[in-house]
Amino acid sequence: MGLAGLPNVTDDIVAAVKAPPPASKQHTRRSTLLHRNRIQQENNMSEKVTRRSALKGLGALGAAGLTLSGPSARAANKPVVGLDSRYGINDLDLSTPEARSSIITKVMGSIGTEDTHAFMRFHIYGYLGDRSLVPLFSMNNYLVQKWKLIEPGTSELRHYEVGYYCEFDTDNPITHWTNPVTGKTVELEQFVLGPIGRMYTPQGIIAPGIAPNPLRVNVVGNRVFVPAQSLETFPNMFTPEEFPELSSGPTIFWDSMYTFSANIEDVLNPELTSAPAEIHMQNMTSWQPFFGFGNLPGRSMVRSWGCNISGFDALEPQVRAGFEKYTPDIFETDTWNDVRFDSMDYYNKVKAERAAKAGES
């Protein structure tokens, strides 16, 4: 083996590079015979240096040079500093359904009677199945959750959530958007949802429609992870027969995967009713009717992240201004009683516009 474990072809290449040039360009008969003999010997070698192997050797030599001389090689010898904790999964009381429900609720929300707030950023992509994901736009998302402890292991929740669309990977709000696949310019319906009632119980989360289904509780390093999923299908109110230009098909597919994580010491702290959590969510859902995809095959895919925050004052001024302008309902949850949902709002809007046009004709 040659340099850094590379095949001997690398040594041959290095030797050839280092070899001095011939003293004269004129070939004598003796030098010609010696040259022919050398060619014959090389042809008889068990390992032939072909153009392909030489190129491979040069590529490997370049990689080896970077590996040997770069700072990453020196850093790789240092031990990795990981997250450690005095606690582990055995310190969590998961012995009964009630205890498990309390831990899940404390990480996902609160086991007290209080409001919790969270902010998340969404990146939204188009999945069409025949190409890489297509970046569409982003969303700033805000949640207010009103928790009420009923009994140990059982809590009641009223969920409020809003979001306004932005240019992709920015905080610049948008109300209209040109679909990069179809070329259509459409008006976006800002996201408004709530109030939605849920019960967190030892038997699971009970809710109308879509609800997260908690999976196995995990401890990694010093954090408790509570993954959850919602894998749902339901009839599309925008039927292909009545709304051929808006409908994604007869059935809505709604697949969401969440992960909530909190510091294990916060989870075990009896003085805390809510363990401040980081939140990650991915979902794939049927096209929203106002995205302008119609019945094109595919779905929208969301990748989002965020965490619990103390309240609206924790937002950046530009972000808060966006919520105040486009989704002011989130600041009035104490008086927000009528159920809102962006798809339902859009459905009623389209029906009203059609009725108005029919009345004019």
Residue 83 lies in a domain: no
pLDDT for the residue numbered 50:
39
Residue 20 lies in a domain: yes
Residue 45 lies in a domain: yes
Tell me, yes or no, whether 58 and 200 share the same domain. no
Residue 86 lies in a domain: no
pLDDT for the residue numbered 129:
94
Give dist(CA 244, CA 109) in Å, integer. Answer: 40
User: Which two structure tokens, joined as six digits, stand for 282?
Assistant: 């991915």
- The domain boundary, picked from 48, 76, 104, lies at 76
pLDDT for the residue numbered 85:
57
- Give this prediction's pTM: 0.76
pLDDT for the residue numbered 115:
98
Tell me, yes or no, whether 135 and 243 share the same domain. yes
Q: What is the pLDDT of residues 261-311, one digit of tens each?
A: 999 999 999 999 999 999 999 999 999 999 999 999 999 999 999 999 999
Query: pLDDT band at residue 56, thresholds of 50, 70 and 90?
Result: very low
Using a pLDDT cut of 90, give the percent of the chain over it: 70
Q: What is the largest CA-CA distance in the chain?
A: 105
pLDDT for the residue numbered 22:
42
Tell me, yes or no, whether 159 and 203 share the same domain. yes
Q: What is the pLDDT of residues 38-54, one digit of tens each?
A: 434 444 443 343 333 33
Tell me, yes or no, whether 172 and 48 share the same domain. no
- 4-18, 80-94, 236-250, 325-339: least confident range: 4-18
Domain span at residue 53? 3-76
Closest to 207 measured CA to CA, from 339, 344, 348, 302? 339
Tell me, yes or no, whether 29 and 123 share the same domain. no
Tell me, yes or no, whether 286 and 203 share the same domain. yes
Average pLDDT over residues 118-124: 98
pLDDT for the residue numbered 69:
32
- The domain boundary, picked from 15, 46, 76, lies at 76
What secondary structure letter does DSSP report for 7? Answer: -
The upper half-sphere exposure of residue 102, i.e. CA atoms within 13 Å in the direction of its Cβ, equals 20
Q: What is the pLDDT of residues 18-41, one digit of tens each?
A: 344 444 434 444 443 444 444 344
pLDDT for the residue numbered 211:
82
Tell me, yes or no, whether 229 and 293 share the same domain. yes
Give dist(CA 174, CA 194) in Å, integer. Answer: 22
Query: pLDDT band at residue 90, thresholds of 50, 70 and 90?
Result: confident
Tell me, yes or no, whether 35 and 108 share the same domain. no
Using a pLDDT cut of 70, give the percent of the chain over it: 76
Residue 124 in this model has a pLDDT that exceeds 50: yes
Per-state percent for the chain, helix, strand, coil, to nearest 5:
30, 35, 35
Q: How far apart, in Å, are the Cα atoms of 79 and each of 75, 83, 344? A: 9, 13, 54
Q: pLDDT averaged over the chain?
A: 82
Residue 150 lies in a domain: yes
Residue 237 lies in a domain: yes
- The DSSP secondary structure of 84-107, one letter per residue, reads --S--GGGS--SSHHHHHHHHHHH
- The domain boundary, picked from 76, 108, 130, lies at 76
Which residues on adjacent β-strands are paired with residue 306? Answer: 120, 279
Tell me, yes or no, whether 135 and 72 share the same domain. no
